[in-house]
């Protein structure tokens, strides 16, 4: 039986009087590719920040492979293998593509392994070798997103959280990116959590969806189950439900 990679239990977050998350709970199994969807303001980004360690929840618990990491800072979660990308790509603009990946490879590579080997392996896997010496400003958005994924998984990664990694890409670029992400999942067993607005893309990627609405989880199931869930249809999907079927 596969392990529980990530367990979010009764997470709540308030900003003053604003309730951003209310009693959010779900589990992600090791090796799973899970989607997290919801309308703007549903609390996806807040949840993402809490799980990655940039925000502290008002209450609740985040466990990573059974270990409570609610109080751990972001860098320790990353070193433990809880990795993320950003909604708006955030690369180190003064460093080359290879150097960007090298930053996390140097931090997170397992003892005894050479971080340079890891950087080369990531560049090769993501087909970024021709861009290795280029600056982030000199490459396409699709490649920038790939570099961010490379930096996220370099060294040691067990769970990869992708925040709208497909937004802004052309259909072909999105297809390629999905291929890269699924290959990562297939080849390395990395658990993937995808926050995405493009439902048709998610349907092609994930076997399970968690739907957030109005600061709480309103549904959890396969894309087909979600597409037929009257609560989800009423709250979020509407006519878009057909893309998940």
Partner 1 sequence: MTAGATPEGTTERQAPLRGSFLYGVVAVALAAGLPFLPFANDYIIAVAVRMLIFIALGQAWNIVAGIGGLLSLGHGVFLGLGCYAAGILFNEYAVPPWLGIWAGGVLSVAVALVMGAMTLRMRGVFFALATIAVSLALDQLARHYVDLTGGDNGLALRFLGNSLWFMQSRTPTPFLYAGLTFVIAYYWITQWVLRTRLGSEMKAVRDDEAAAAAAGVAVFRTKLLGLLLSAVMTSFAGTLYMQSYQAIDPETAFGLSQAIQLQLPALIGGLGTSWGPIIGGTIMILLSESTNWGSTKLGIAGVDILVYGLLLLAVVMYAPKGIMGLFDRRTRGAWRP
CB of 17 to partner 1, least distance (A): 24
Interface with partner 1 in residues 105-164 (CB under 8 A): 106-108, 114, 116-117, 119-121, 132-133, 151-152, 155
Q: Which DSSP letter does residue 233 get?
A: I
* Residue 78 lies near partner 1 (rule: CB under 8 A): yes
Structural tokens at position 85: 């990308």
Q: Which stretch binds partner 1 (CB under 8 A): 33-41, 52-60, 206-214, 234-242?
A: 52-60
Cα 197 to Cα 163: distance, rounded to the nearest angstrom:
10
Half-sphere exposure of 198 (CA within 13 A, CB side): 16
CB of 137 to partner 1, least distance (A): 12
- Please identify which residue in 102, 190, 237, 241 interacts with partner 1, judged by CB under 8 A: 102
CB of 107 to partner 1, least distance (A): 3
CB of 133 to partner 1, least distance (A): 5
Residue 216's nearest CA partner among 37, 71, 43, 50 is 43
Give the nearer residue to partner 1 in terms of CB position, either 23 or 133: 133
Give the nearer residue to partner 1 in terms of CB position, either 151 or 158: 151
Beta strand segments in 17-167, E:
18-29, 33-37, 59-64, 67-68, 82-84, 159-163
Half-sphere exposure of 54 (CA within 13 A, CB side): 10
Give the nearer residue to partner 1 in terms of CB position, either 94 or 239: 94
* Residue 91 lies near partner 1 (rule: CB under 8 A): yes
Q: Which stretch binds partner 1 (CB under 8 A): 6-14, 18-26, 60-68, 82-90?
A: 82-90
Structural tokens at position 39: 């309308």
Binding mask 1-40 for partner 1 (x = CB under 8 A): ----------------------------------------
Q: ∠ at Cα 187 (102, 179), nearest 5°?
A: 85
Q: How far is CA 122 from CA 63, 81, 108, 128, 203, in A?
A: 28, 16, 13, 8, 27
Cβ 227 vs Cβ 234: under 8 Å = no
Binding site for partner 1 (CB under 8 A): 52-54, 73-75, 78-79, 83-86, 90-96, 98-99, 102-104, 106-108, 114, 116-117, 119-121, 132-133, 151-152, 155
């Amino acid at each position: 039986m596969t392990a529980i990679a990530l367990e979010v239990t009764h997470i709540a977050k308030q900003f003053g009087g604003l309730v951003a998350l209310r009693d959010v709970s779900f589990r992600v199994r090791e090796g799973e590719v899970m989607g997290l969807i919801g309308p703007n303001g549903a609390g996806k980004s807040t949840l993402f920040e809490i799980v990655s360690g940039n925000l502290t929840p008002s209450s609740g618990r985040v466990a990573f492979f059974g270990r409570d990491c609610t109080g751990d800072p972001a860098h320790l979660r990353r070193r433990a293998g809880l990795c993320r990308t950003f909604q708006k790509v955030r690369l180190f603009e003064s460093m080359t593509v290879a150097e960007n990946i090298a930053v996390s490879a140097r931090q997170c590579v397992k003892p005894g392994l050479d971080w340079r080997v890891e950087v080369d392996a990531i560049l090769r896997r993501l087909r970024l070798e021709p861009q290795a010496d280029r600056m982030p400003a000199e490459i396409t958005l699709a490649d920038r997103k790939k570099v961010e994924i490379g930096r996220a998984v370099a060294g040691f990664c067990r769970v990869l959280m992708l925040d709208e990694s497909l937004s802004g890409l052309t259909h072909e670029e999105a297809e390629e990116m999905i291929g890269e992400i699924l290959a990562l999942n297939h080849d390395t067993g990395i658990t993937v959590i995808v926050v995405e607005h493009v439902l048709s893309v998610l349907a092609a990627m994930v076997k399970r969806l968690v739907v957030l609405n109005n600061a709480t989880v309103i549904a959890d199931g396969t894309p087909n189950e979600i597409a037929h869930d009257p609560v989800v249809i009423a709250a979020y999907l509407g006519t878009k439900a057909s893309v998940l079927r």
